[in-house]
Structure 1
Amino acid sequence: MTKPIIRSHLIAGGQYHDIDYARADLLRRLGASPHVRTTVSHSYADLTPLDTARLLVTYTCNVVPHADAVARLRAFVEGGGRWLALHGTNSILAQNERGRWYAPEDDTGFMDLIGSQFAAHPPIAPYRVSVRAPDDPLVAGLGDFDVEGGDELYYMRLFGEAEVLLDAAATGPARGFVERDWPHDGRHPVLYRKKVGAGEIVYFTLGHRRGHYDMEPLLSYYDTVEKGAWEIAPFNLILDRCIAWGLADG
């Protein structure tokens, strides 16, 4: 039986990450179904593809839309659209005069819409992710799992209500960040759902990826290759489920 075309839009762009790897991988997953057609951009400058899209996928860092684009994004989700936001989508990064990183306050409403804003992360090290909503289809059948390979545990400012599906415990101070100290007994969302009108946003903080040439203009060569959670089975299973959720009817 002929299936109707489903349209999705991918925004992949920004700094300090292997955006090319993420873009190619996400397009491969979206293209696994022949009736799915995906448009691609590196920013929020042109959101006309959302007029016909069912799913928006974002993998960005330091890419923030203007207020009018935020209004368009909100209208898309409120009207029933689905948005899968990955890793650094909620990140605005800057450095102070001492070279410490900080997250400037967002005045566009973007982070309020998403439900979180990256603030800092502890040194990259293995950490354990816990399942908090075992009956949710995105994580059903999964147990707690370890993240290795150089991914980041996000310390975030949270806005509004969301259903946390995965979280992780803080693992130490965020060295090199202005907001250095976080509660050592605190837990931080790794995967959550946020309903907005008739639609929904799913935010997945995993997915860090950085190669030797991804720190320009700060560094011309980065010594360490950080492959992140892309190398572990639970991440790939959840990511595939998230994309299937985003493309499904209703």
Structure 2
Amino acid sequence: MGKSDRIDVYLVAGGKYHNIDHARLEILKLLAEQPRIKVRVGEDYSDIEAICASDFIITYTCDVIPSAEETRRLCDYVRSGRKWFALHGTNSILRFLVNDGDFIVDCPEENVPFAHLLGSQFMAHPPIHEYDVLVTEPEHELVKGIPSFKVDDELYLSKFHGEYQTLLHTHWSEPVANFTSTEWMKKDDIQPVMYIHPYGDGQVLYLTLGHCRGKYDMQPDIEEYPVPEEGAWRSEEFYELLRRGIQWAMEPVPGTSCEPVTVQPAETAVAES
């Protein structure tokens, strides 16, 4: 018996230094708005057979790196015409070093094929602060009708690979303390916040927003984190972007043989204030 019109989704939600429980719950609630979606959930890429059997992947992770074999399977999966909606720290590899008694973060390029698949690798971020998220492609369906907005979040600085279409961006050009890498620095100060990266016959949609950290998420380094951080999860624009990203992932890549799906209509776009 076939699966009829069911859409199988695999959500990977796991990793370090973030309130993964909060992100997992909120993403599952958004997926539940689409009645045709059936979800499986994992903390990493170890259930690669189930991941590759899904119709699309959505990930919210930090320092969760697939093995060489898992990376190869993920590359084949997207290359074949599938979609991946990657959030926040999916592209991060973190190594904490000690320099003169202070911690410094290294982001080694230990899995280059994985970075090429995602289109980027996280390299640094300045201290969490409020910044403007600007619309780069105002006529694109993923951001159309959403005005520029402010978030109090991690501003991701990444090294990019291959072709990508920037949909949202912000500005940053200053050096960043406590990180070893400066490879993210470019001639201009435009930093992508949301982009589409073609890979083979498939596509990756990457959205860097979504930092969150709770009371116990820095253990064992910090027993109790003093002030919870909710980042863009406080923003209605972020939730609209998540909904649209899910709807984007439900649609086939143009020109592929993947069967089209019918999605629930998006909620009314965030009106300009």
TM-score tier after normalising by the smaller chain length: over 0.9
Q: For residue 221 of structure 1, give the secondary structure of its aligned residue in structure 2.
A: coil
- Equivalent residue, structure 2, for 1:209: 212
**Percent of paired sites with the same residue:** 39
Match of 1:128 among 132, 141, 154: 132
Q: How has the CA–CA distance of structure 1 residues 246 and 183 changed in structure 2, closer, same or farther, with 3 Å as cutoff? A: closer
8 Å CA contact retained: 1:170, 1:183? no
Cα-to-partner distance string for 1:109-151 (whole Å, 9 max, x where unaligned) = 1111111111110111100011111111100112211113xx1
Paired residue type of 2:234: E
> For the residues of structure 2 that align with 1:245 and 1:208, how far apart are their CA atoms?
22
Structure 1 residues 153-198: Cα deviation after superposition (integer angstroms, max 9, x where no partner): 0111111110010110016432222236956951111000011122
Contact 1:55–1:82 (Cα < 8 Å) also in 2: yes
Maintained 8 Å contact 2:173/2:185: no
2:246 equivalent in structure 1 = 243
CA distance in 2, matches of 1:173, 1:47: 38
Question: What amino acid is the match of 2:241?
Answer: I
User: How far, CA to CA, are the matches of 1:190 and 1:75 in structure 2?
Assistant: 26
Q: Does 1:7 align with 2:22?
A: no
Q: Distance in 2 between matches of 1:166 and 1:160?
A: 18
Shift in Å at residue 35 of structure 1? Answer: 2.1
Question: 1:121 is matched by which residue type in structure 2?
Answer: H
Q: How many residues align?
A: 247
Give the equivalent residue in structure 1 for 2:271. Answer: none
Is 1:76 equivalent to 2:77 in the alignment? yes
- Determine if contact 2:52/2:74 at 8 Å carries over to the other structure: no
Q: Deviations over 1:29-88 (max 9, x none)?
A: 112222210001001111112343111001000100011111111111111211000000
Letter in 2 for 1:195: P
Give the whole-Å Cα distance in 2 for the aligned partners of 1:113 and 1:16.
24
Task: Please point out which of 117, 131, 136 is paired with 1:113.
Answer: 117
Moved over 6 A (4+): none
Q: CA deviation at 1:108?
A: 5.0
Structure 2 partner of 1:154: 156
Please report the TM-score for the alignment, with normalisation by the length of structure 2.
Answer: 0.86
- The answer to whether the 8 Å contact 1:209/1:228 transfers is yes
Say whether the 8 Å CA contact 1:67–1:108 is kept in structure 2: no
The farther-off stretch of 135-144 and 170-179 is 170-179
Query: In structure 2, what is the equivalent of residue 90 of structure 1?
Result: 91
Whether the aligned pair in 2 keeps the contact of 1:70 and 1:108 (CA below 8 Å) is no
Q: 1:41: which partner in 2? A: 42
- Which residues in structure 2 correspond to 1:219-234 (within 5 Å)? 219-234=222-237
Matched AA of 2:56:
L
Matched AA of 1:244: Q
The residue that corresponds to 1:176 in the other structure is 178
Residue number in structure 2 paired with 1:103: 107
Q: 1:68 to 1:140 in 2, by over 3 A?
A: same
| 1:100 partner SS | strand
Structure 2 stretches lacking a partner, 5+ long: 253-259, 261-273
Secondary structure at the residue paired with 1:69? helix
